[in-house]
Amino acid sequence: MTDDQGIVVVGTDGSAGAEHAVGWALEEARAHGDAVLLVHAWRYPAVAVTTYAGEPLPVFGHDDLERLAAEALTKAENAARKREPGVRVDTRLVEAHPVEALLDASRGARLLVVGSRGLGGFKELLLGSVSTACARHARCPVVIVPPAES
């Protein structure tokens, strides 16, 4: 990235809300001549576990989860480049909690973009834990993109 080019960081996890946030970030980056950094965080062990002889075993191994996370990030990257071919898109795959990965990436960024979860009804007033933590602790301005209207 050039010295005069800003960076718009956006979290992606493959969800519809994240895809909407990536789209918003791409439009913002295009309008201001910025680059986009797609950040995908993953953690091991997987939450889903099974047991064998009373011992918990991860459903997926470490390498399996890393591969799946990399594939999800590549899919998001390809979609972003297709949607806005004039915008520079970089990626960062991080083995960490999403908040930790996004806050770290926000250092030096012009903007951090995250999706909010669309839960409907009263719960719609509440933000997800990742977006709330990013809004409180990011090192740059934060945009929380609401869910796309159906």
CA distances (Å), origin 107, targets 9, 47, 49, 111: 10, 29, 35, 10
Residue pLDDT, tens place only, 35-79: 999 999 998 865 555 666 777 666 778 898 899 999 999 999 999
Residue 91: how many CA atoms within 13 Å on its side-chain side?
18
Q: Specify whether the CB–CB gap between 143 and 39 falls below 8 A.
A: no
Could you tell me whether strands 49-52 and 142-145 are parallel, antiparallel, or unpaired per DSSP bridges? unpaired
Tell me the domain boundaries of the chain.
7-145
Summarised one tens digit per residue, pLDDT across range 82-137 is 999 999 999 999 999 999 999 999 999 999 999 986 434 444 445 568 899 999 99
Cis-peptide, bond into residue 45, ω within 30° of zero:
yes
Could you give the CA distance from residue 133 to residue 128 in angstroms, rounded to a whole number? 9
CATH class of 7-145: alpha beta
| 29 alpha-carbon distance from chain centroid | 16
What is the tens place of the pLDDT at every residue in 1-34?
Answer: 445 579 999 999 988 889 999 999 999 999 999 9
CB contact at 8 A, 12 and 73? yes
